[in-house]
Amino acid sequence: MDQGFWGRGNQGFPRYAPFLSCRGPAPRYGGPPRCVLAPIPDPAVDAYIAAAPPPVAARLAALRACIGAAAPASTERMGYGIPTWRQGENLVHIGAFQRHIGLFPGPAAVAAFAEAFAGFAVSKGAIQLPHDAPLPLDAVAALVAWRVERATAAVAAKAAAKAAARAGRGRGSGGGRAG
């Protein structure tokens, strides 16, 4: 029987855990090994990129590497039929089209980075990167890093609200019947 990731079975730890390279043994009293976080490539995303024409596939691969470097703890997957990076929430999507690559970070990110993408066609939640223009990889990396900060803050706020709700339900909170 396969003992799983740390020799204790796979309880609660999916086989697609976001670890690529480990730098040493696990800590003495259990827990994960000291690993470098990096997104594991999704075979469906590989197939999506391979299905594109060669020049477009090269541009998609460059964007994939840029997004992976800017969001190393994210999970890469297919969402809405296009490659998606997720870290607590969807960070960014990319999609290949006939004349451009669509970058879909959401309306707040498009508004926050309007100056960085001034030369590109933008809509409420999308940026079009034409095939005949160089990719603005620095701007994309900054945008993804900004999305990671926002997603991390949103997850932390949600956890704090959940903890506050739990604290309010404790003993002596007046939540029971009045006698």
CATH code assigned at 127? 3.90.1150.200
Would residue 132 count as lying in a domain?
A: yes
Overall average pLDDT of the 138-156 stretch = 95
pLDDT of residue 30: 53
Would residue 108 count as lying in a domain?
A: yes
pLDDT of residue 101: 97
pLDDT of residue 21: 44
Would residue 73 count as lying in a domain?
A: yes
For the chain, how many structural domains are there in total? 1
Domain that includes residue 142, residue range? 43-156
Would residue 167 count as lying in a domain?
A: no
Would residue 115 count as lying in a domain?
A: yes
Integer CA distances (angstroms), 176 to 111, 155, 165, in order:
47, 30, 15
Overall average pLDDT of the 144-169 stretch = 90
Overall average pLDDT of the 81-110 stretch = 95
Is residue 19 predicted with pLDDT exceeding 70? no
